[in-house]
């Protein structure tokens, strides 16, 4: 059963990118819980609730001419009806005619807490960190918080500080 759970969770993580890029935000119903908490970026922008997340992400992505999101390198730890997942993300945002260039490429990571629901696994809490970018960060508009987390080795430091839930879950399992 654990292998099936891991496969289903990886599917949920990948569905997030597909929902964004296809502008099918109703698919977020298959990705997140109704009471989701999602924190993105160094400025700590936080969204509470699925309806709010869907509306905000729809509004943001509608301003772009094109975008592509990739979730890669997923690792999953299942503990009964709860799970932790960690994945890397790459994205390309395009807005033709943006002052300073039409594309912005970035990398980062996602640290997710998931729960098993009647409809399958869903992300209940997401922390996303921007690690690096190239191109024009003004593509999505003049948003000052779109800067990478400027600390070098942010993932290493976050793990050392106990701030990566996936790492804490597997470390606890290893110590048990």
Per-residue confidence (pLDDT) for residue 52, from 0 to 100: 95
Tell me the CATH class for 2-175. Answer: alpha beta
Per-residue confidence (pLDDT) for residue 43, from 0 to 100: 65
User: Among 3-7, 104-108, 136-140, which is the least confidently predicted range?
Assistant: 136-140
pLDDT confidence bin for 166, thresholds 50/70/90: confident
User: Which ranges of the chain does DSSP label H, i.e. alpha helix?
Assistant: 2-22, 50-62, 154-160, 165-175
Model's pTM, two decimal places?
A: 0.84
């Amino acid at each position: 059963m654990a292998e099936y759970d891991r496969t289903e969770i990886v599917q949920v993580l990948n569905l997030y990118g597909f929902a964004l890029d296809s502008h099918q935000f109703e698919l977020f119903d298959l990705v997140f819980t109704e009471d989701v908490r999602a924190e993105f970026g160094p400025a700590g922008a936080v969204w509470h609730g699925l309806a709010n997340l869907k509306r905000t992400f729809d509004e943001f992505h509608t301003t772009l001419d094109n975008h592509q999101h990739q979730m890669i390198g997923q690792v999953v730890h299942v503990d009964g009806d709860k799970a932790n997942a960690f994945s890397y993300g790459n994205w390309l945002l395009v807005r033709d005619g943006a002052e300073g260039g039409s594309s912005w490429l970035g990398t980062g990571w996602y640290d997710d807490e998931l729960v098993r629901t009647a409809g399958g696994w869903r992300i209940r809490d997401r922390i996303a960190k921007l690690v690096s970018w190239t191109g024009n960060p003004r593509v999505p508009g003049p948003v000052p918080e779109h800067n990478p987390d400027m600390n070098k080795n942010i993932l290493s430091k976050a793990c050392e500080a106990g701030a990566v839930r996936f790492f804490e879950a597997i470390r606890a399992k290893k110590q048990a």
